[in-house]
């Protein structure tokens, strides 16, 4: 797993392979100044740590945030103040903004889904549909938005999907093989048809994922399970239908779109004009 410092270093190397020729041409070496981080739309904040880490890597910049990760912030709010080396501020501007606007976009989107199921007892969880190498950040953003994390990686749990079942020959056989290899771990099984549910439960599934089912089939599936194992609904979920689905009382609803296609929050880093 790539840590934050390594990720920041690689991101800066991508953006500044040699030097920032524009900034070095215009800003005198050692010049100090101030800048403000401005939020331009209502959002949930996420990404303070990695935003700050960009300028820690560059050096010479002090940052003061007046909000925390998970806070809701209205448009036109100044959420942080930067003081120090102006060359470092301008060199780190885009990389730092890329991180915090993406993470805040995920947190904001997650919060909308969490609020949509409020009072139903359903938990909103993410998926592995994340951008390569950014999973650590994106799953953190989901938590900041009030959601929960599913598996971080393929090593974190057993989830038997349609292709595993096709190769094994049946749900029962796939579960048998998984239990033989990892008998202490819980097993989640993806089902796409109602008739697969009893086979999965009888074979020892600990959790059922209803994958891309129509709403009526989701309702019927939950009736079939009758609380014997937890149920996760996945696929085809959006802000228009999630409340209806949550009222059928699954335990979890996983939403891939909160990480695979978030809208970045509009923010800007503006240097305070020198008098």
Catalytic one of 20, 126, 188, 190: 190
Burial zone of 80 (CB within 10 Å; 0-12 exposed, 13-18 middle, 19+ buried): buried
Burial zone of 132 (CB within 10 Å; 0-12 exposed, 13-18 middle, 19+ buried): exposed
Catalytic one of 93, 138, 211, 232: 211
Catalytic one of 129, 172, 179, 219: 129
Please give the structure tokens belonging to residue 243: 């409340």
Catalytic one of 9, 94, 143, 219: 94
Kindly give the pairing relationship between strand 32-39 and strand 267-271.
antiparallel
3 is known as an active-site residue: no
94 is known as an active-site residue: yes
129 is known as an active-site residue: yes
Kindly give the pairing relationship between strand 252-254 and strand 207-211.
unpaired
SS3 state of residue 230: coil
Maximum CA extent, the chain: 75
211 is known as an active-site residue: yes
Q: What is the CA radius of gyration of the chain?
A: 23
Catalytic one of 34, 83, 161, 219: 161
Kindly give the pairing relationship between strand 61-65 and strand 32-39.
unpaired
Q: How many residues does the chain have?
A: 275
Known catalytic residues are: 94, 129, 161, 190, 211
């Amino acid at each position: 797993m790539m840590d934050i410092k390594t990720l920041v270093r690689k991101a800066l190397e991508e953006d500044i392979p040699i030097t920032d020729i524009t900034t070095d041409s215009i800003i005198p070496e050692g010049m100090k100044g101030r800048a403000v981080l401005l939020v331009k739309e209502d959002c949930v904040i996420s990404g303070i740590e990695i935003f700050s880490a960009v300028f820690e890597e560059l050096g010479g910049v002090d940052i003061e945030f007046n909000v925390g990760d998970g806070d809701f912030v209205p448009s036109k709010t100044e959420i942080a103040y930067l003081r120090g080396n102006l060359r470092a501020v301008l060199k780190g501007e885009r990389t730092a903004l890329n991180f915090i606007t993406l993470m805040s976009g995920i947190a904001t989107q997650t919060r909308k889904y969490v609020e949509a199921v409020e009072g139903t007892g359903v938990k909103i969880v993410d998926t592995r549909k994340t951008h390569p190498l950014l999973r650590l950040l994106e799953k953190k953003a989901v938590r900041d938005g009030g959601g929960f994390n599913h598996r971080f990686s393929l090593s974190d749990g057993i989830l038997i999907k349609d292709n595993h079942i096709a190769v094994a020959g049946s749900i029962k056989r796939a579960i048998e093989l998984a239990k033989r290899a990892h008998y202490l771990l819980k097993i989640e099984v993806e089902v796409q048809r109602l008739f697969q549910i009893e086979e999965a439960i009888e074979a020892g599934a600990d959790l059922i994922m209803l994958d891309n089912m129509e709403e009526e089939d989701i309702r019927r599936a939950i009736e079939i399970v009758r609380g014997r194992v937890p149920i996760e609904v996945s696929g085809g979920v959006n802000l228009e239908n999630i409340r209806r689905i949550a009222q059928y009382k699954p335990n979890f609803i996983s939403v891939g779109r909160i990480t695979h296609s978030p809208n970045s929050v509009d923010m800007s880093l503006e240097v305070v004009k020198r008098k």
